[in-house]
Amino acid sequence: MKKKITLKHIARELGVSISTVSKALKNSEEIGSDTKEKVQAFAKLYNYKPNNIAISLKNKRTKNIGVIIPDIVHHFFTTVFRGIEKYANAKGYNVIVCVSDESFDREVINMELLANGSIDGFIMALSAGTQLKNDYNHLKEVTEQGIPLVLFDRVTEDIKCDKVIINDKKGAYNAVTKFIKDGRKRIALITTEDYFSVSRERAAGYREALSDNGIAYNEDLILKFPSMTIDENVIEDFFNREKVDAVLSVNEIFAIHSMRLVQSKGLKIPEDISFIGFTDGLLSKYASPGLTAVAQHGEHMGEIAAEMLIEKVESELEEETYITRVLEPTLIERGSTIN
Amino acid sequence: MKKKITLKHIARELGVSISTVSKALKNSEEIGSDTKEKVQAFAKLYNYKPNNIAISLKNKRTKNIGVIIPDIVHHFFTTVFRGIEKYANAKGYNVIVCVSDESFDREVINMELLANGSIDGFIMALSAGTQLKNDYNHLKEVTEQGIPLVLFDRVTEDIKCDKVIINDKKGAYNAVTKFIKDGRKRIALITTEDYFSVSRERAAGYREALSDNGIAYNEDLILKFPSMTIDENVIEDFFNREKVDAVLSVNEIFAIHSMRLVQSKGLKIPEDISFIGFTDGLLSKYASPGLTAVAQHGEHMGEIAAEMLIEKVESELEEETYITRVLEPTLIERGSTIN
DNA sequence: GAAAGCTACTAAAACGTTTTCGGTATTATT
DNA sequence: AATAATACCGAAAACGTTTTAGTAGCTTTC
């Protein structure tokens, strides 16, 4: 087993000082050309690579960024992550991922763990637990220490930091408007409880589109699930009870379940009932018929988040200006809607 | 902005030495109880947390593990990752993820970057590019430096290290056996080129099951795609050309595409043609009909990989014994097969 | 009353870098 | 020949810890 070689080894072996070796490897003008050659040749021969940890300690910069997301087995988050990773890697940064599993406690623990020198900045989406608890002290502590933070998708007004979100309200508005143009009257909304910032925004867009088109808001057409997991019976009851000709769902899973259910009841999609779902993921693409979807452009969102973070990390001056980038959603039309 | 406090700050503030502070915080017997109380109170007040980087440098242990996977927007890899992250986190380790994007070069670059002190060990699945090139020198270098390595799913015989895979051959064997029991005669295999270790194994299981049941192997029933992306026309040609009553696919995407195609040609699933796909992901679950799938138990695989790695990382002695854990696949029956 | 034994602390090295500040030859300038 | 300039190199500090090896001052012991 050949252990990693250090500057000290090279110095001892070549009979020079550590500083000489360090400078020689950086091609410093201070070092004579023959010494430089000798050192560089030796270093190449033994495949010397500087120790990242030592450099991090010296520079107080790790070149790591911490990403905390609620779930990794989730198409949208992985696309965001891909964007982050791609941009960060191109800039020479590594990405440490922690999964909060939608839990407040795990979010706090992971943040505190990483905040003690392991990373130069955070990119994160709030866990369900955190949004429910409405407690953001762990974020506040981190920002007060001067560690840059970028929130994406699931954000909060309570923390001053850079943010990147999509215009969820507009996404819902556009979807509902499309339904109405297609002549739909009884448009349902399948969503989660309101503590998710995104669900609130989408519900607002839904209401506004109805109102702008002179359709009365009808509480009976709103189906709320308390969490991400769904109860088949609740869906069935809902569709047995309410006559619905269009459905906007805040995620794919709810939409797909509903589509299968109404199909099993003999309804035709999109003739009898149309569907649009948020998050243009695999399921939307491969459902039959394909699910018209509000694309959230996760990868782009990730790139922007990484760009904003690295910008802050590398800027010397600590400005107190924070911006929120709002990305425009796109409606991807498929077979679940008319045309 | 309150900067992180260090031992030195505490020492200076309290008029004691750094070593005293360090020991006091560890409740060492060497330190008088009044001094300990004083130090601990001060540390708690200012929320002192030791700097991870400094500890890493001292201990030559980072408590980070590096995970390199070909793709992150991929259900199977994310389930494995979830298993890794869960186990590692419980053991106090963080996970640094790099995505090779199926490229040999990026796999090499990422490994070299992380190998210089950033991590205590690697968990990885080989990229397509690496398997195609059949060049594993980057892995060899890492293991020769004594950095533990665990390969999962996409492995190679050429590297001596711990591995965890599922019994792909058996998974295919079981699937084909089920087809045959259901009376299927013309069983197709949709796969990728042979340089993927998993594809080879699955093809072997396919052949063996046919042979064990007295069905001749027919090259015409094998459809090979050069990469993960598919060409609709090729699929269409294939099903126009060959009369097929069952299809085993090495992944979900190929299976779903094929199912939609044969459905559009008016065939009934599973009456006219049955489907089984590898990797029991979201698509299998939500396809209509549901796709019978060979479950690969990704999360469990990830946990085992992390367990094996951390075991090696924390063991003092450097044994040269490497084991390969082989997980048993499970057939998840859904509507795409009879019963 | 000197040796031994405690108690409670500190100095310093070590991990592997980078960088500042000097220092010593050697060469150039007057 | 004395001084200045230059080329080349090394010592040491610093990043924040942990740990070994002391050490000072006190009490105990016979």
pLDDT at A22: 97
Residue whose CA lies closest to nucleotide C12 C1': B19
CA of B28: nearest nucleotide by C1' is: C8
- DSSP secondary structure string for all residues of B120-142: SEEEE---HHHHHHT--HHHHHH
pLDDT at B2: 82
Average pLDDT over residues B216-229: 89
In chain A, the domains with their CATH numbers are 7-50 (no CATH), 62-166+298-327 (3.40.50.2300), 168-296 (3.40.50.2300)
Q: Is B258 left (phi over 0), alpha (psi -120 to 50) or beta?
A: alpha
pLDDT digits (tens, 9 = 90+) for B175-191: 999 999 999 999 999 99
Q: Is the pLDDT of residue A195 over 80?
A: no
CB contact under 8 A, B53 and A263: no
Q: Is the pLDDT of residue B223 over 90?
A: yes
Query: Is there a cis peptide before residue A289, judged by omega within 30 degrees of 0?
Result: yes
Measure CB to CB from residue A146 to each of B3, B115, B286 and give the nearest one.
Answer: B3
Q: Where are the beta strands (DSSP E) in chain B?
A: 64-69, 94-99, 121-124, 149-152, 162-166, 187-192, 222-225, 246-249, 274-278, 292-295, 324-327, 330-332
Q: How far is B206 from chain A (nearest CA, A)?
A: 26
pLDDT digits (tens, 9 = 90+) for B34-92: 999 999 999 999 999 999 999 999 999 999 999 999 999 999 999 999 999 999 999 99
Q: Which of residues 231-250 of B touch A (CB under 8 A)?
A: none
What stretch of H or E contains A294?
strand A292-295
Backbone phi and psi for residue B128, each to the nearest 5 degrees, phi listed first: -60, -45
Q: What percent of chain B has pLDDT over 90?
A: 90
C1' (C2) to CA (B30) span, angstroms: 27
CB contact under 8 A, B94 and A98: yes
pLDDT digits (tens, 9 = 90+) for A315-330: 977 778 999 999 999 9
Residue of A nearest to B256 (CA): A286
pLDDT digits (tens, 9 = 90+) for B116-175: 999 999 999 999 999 999 999 999 999 999 999 999 999 999 999 999 999 999 999 999
Question: In this structure, which amino acid lies at residue B243?
Answer: K
Q: Is the pLDDT of residue A197 over 90?
A: no
pLDDT at B197: 83
pLDDT at A18: 96
C1' (C5) to CA (B54) span, angstroms: 37
CB contact under 8 A, A79 and B73: yes
Which residues in chain B are closer than 8 Å to A53, comparing Cβ atoms?
A: 53, 56-57, 62, 117-118
pLDDT digits (tens, 9 = 90+) for A61-90: 999 999 999 999 999 999 999 999 999 999
- DSSP secondary structure string for all residues of A9-39: HHHHHHTS-HHHHHHHHTT-TTS-HHHHHHH
The per-residue pLDDT of chain B, averaged, comes to 94
CB contact under 8 A, A286 and B57: no
Q: How far is B174 from chain A (nearest CA, A)?
A: 26
Query: Is there a cis peptide before residue B289, judged by omega within 30 degrees of 0?
Result: yes
Q: Is the pLDDT of residue A131 over 90?
A: yes
Angstrom distance (rounded) from CA B101 to CA A86: 10
**Partner A contacted by B6 (CB < 8 A):** no
Q: Is the pLDDT of residue A1 over 90?
A: no
Average pLDDT over residues B85-109: 97
Structure tokens that stand for B21 in this block:
């502070």
Angstrom distance (rounded) from CA A302 to CA B81: 19
CB contact under 8 A, A72 and B82: yes
Which residues in chain A are closer than 8 Å to B107, comparing Cβ atoms?
A: none
B316 Cβ neighbours under 8 A, 6+ residues apart? none
**Partner B contacted by A90 (CB < 8 A):** no
pLDDT at A339: 80
Average pLDDT over residues A50-67: 97
Average pLDDT over residues A114-136: 96
Q: Using pLDDT thresholds of 50, 70 and 90, give the confidence band for residue B194.
A: confident
CB contact under 8 A, A96 and B99: no
Angstrom distance (rounded) from CA B331 to CA B339: 13
**Partner B contacted by A4 (CB < 8 A):** yes
Query: Out of A55-64, A163-172, A207-216, B223-232, which region has the weakest mean confidence (pLDDT)?
Result: B223-232
pLDDT at A3: 87
B51 vs A286, more confident: B51
pLDDT at B320: 80
**Partner B contacted by A50 (CB < 8 A):** yes
pLDDT at B190: 96
Q: Is the pLDDT of residue B259 over 80?
A: yes
Residue with tokens 């993921």: A281
pLDDT at B125: 98
Average pLDDT over residues B282-309: 95
pLDDT at A198: 87
Residue of A nearest to B109 (CA): A89
Distances (CA, A) of B240 to A262, B192, B243, B262, B281: 32, 20, 8, 9, 28
Residue whose CA lies closest to nucleotide C14 C1': B58
CB contact under 8 A, B97 and A99: no
Q: What percent of chain B has pLDDT over 70?
A: 100
Q: Is the CB of A33 under 7 A from strand D?
A: yes
